[in-house]
Amino acid sequence: MEKSVVDFERRDEIGLITLNNPQKRNVLSRAALSQLRERLDAAEAAAEIKCVILRAAGPVFSAGHDLREIIDATEAERLSLFELCTQTMQTIRGLSMPVIAEVQGTATAAGCQLAATCDLIVAAEEASFATPGIKIGLFCSTPAVALSRAVKPKKAMEMLLTAEPISAREAERIGLVNRVVPRQQLAEVTFQLARQIAAASPYTLGLGKRAFYEQLALDTERAYQFTEEIMVENARAPDALEGMQAFLEHRPPKWGKA
């Protein structure tokens, strides 16, 4: 039986996915990526879950790919590994609920990519982020996709070219991280943020997340046209009608299922 290196549990309306291979710095091996996709799919399938927290055991969030798997692989195996990584990242982005990365330590290479792919990041003060592939002759090209969409291109390129890690505070300053908190408060702050998000309509969360990422790729005029259509679609939904009526009646809304 394959060893479990990614755990999943539900706490109320929050799904908790934990990278649990601290002895190997939570590397994103083929097994870890496959299990991560399975856990994300399980969260999607659970009707009660409205927000996911992605966290890690031990002092390291994730050290990225297992280099031994890359060195020892055939050309076809390398391609399938990077394809699996991309598919896993796209699963996070395509999930109908927000995903919050809870980063307690270092997130490097594909580990940085994983954090940057999540919708939000809450980091401990001692956390750091780096794309150090250039130091070993393997440029972080796929991590660059997520990184360059989370921060401005010049800063992303600096991280990619210098391999220098940035602190959690610097990551917050450049827009990679949403909140930086003391390590002992990390789990509590992240969970409270997830609960705040989970109070919203699951339908609206899913629609809003999809619309946000789709409009980013459009020019301003087309983005407005697209989001106008989304607003019309949203406005006729039962949850929107319920929410607006509840606001006018000064009462809490009663949301439907996703």
Same domain membership, residue 166 and residue 241: no
On whether the CB atoms of residues 161 and 71 are closer than 8 A, the answer is: no
Predicted confidence at residue 258, as pLDDT, reads 64
How far are the Cα atoms of 141, 153, 160, 204, 230 from residue 138, in angstroms, in the given order?
A: 8, 20, 11, 41, 41
Binning pLDDT at 50, 70 and 90, where does residue 1 land? Answer: low
Q: Is the domain of 39 the same as that of 120?
A: yes
Write out the H or E segment, with its range, that includes residue 128: strand 128-130
Instruction: Domain of residue 93: give its range.
Output: 6-198
Whether residue 42 is found in the same domain as residue 29: yes
Q: Which pLDDT score is estimated for 70? A: 94
How many structural domains does the chain have? 2
Residue 258 domain-assigned (yes or no): no
48-98 per-position pLDDT tens digit: 999 999 999 999 999 999 999 999 999 999 999 999 999 999 999 999 999
pTM: 0.96
* Each residue's pLDDT tens digit, 103-154: 999 999 999 999 999 999 999 999 999 999 999 999 999 999 999 999 999 9
In a domain, 15, yes or no: yes
Between the alpha carbon of residue 115 and those of residues 94, 100, 119, the distances in Å are 15, 8, 9
Give one DSSP letter per residue of 47-80, joined into a string: TT--EEEEEESSSEEE--S-HHHHHT--HHHHHH
CATH code, domain with 217: 1.10.12
| Residues 164-208: tens digit of each pLDDT | 999 999 999 999 999 999 999 999 999 999 999 999 999 999 999
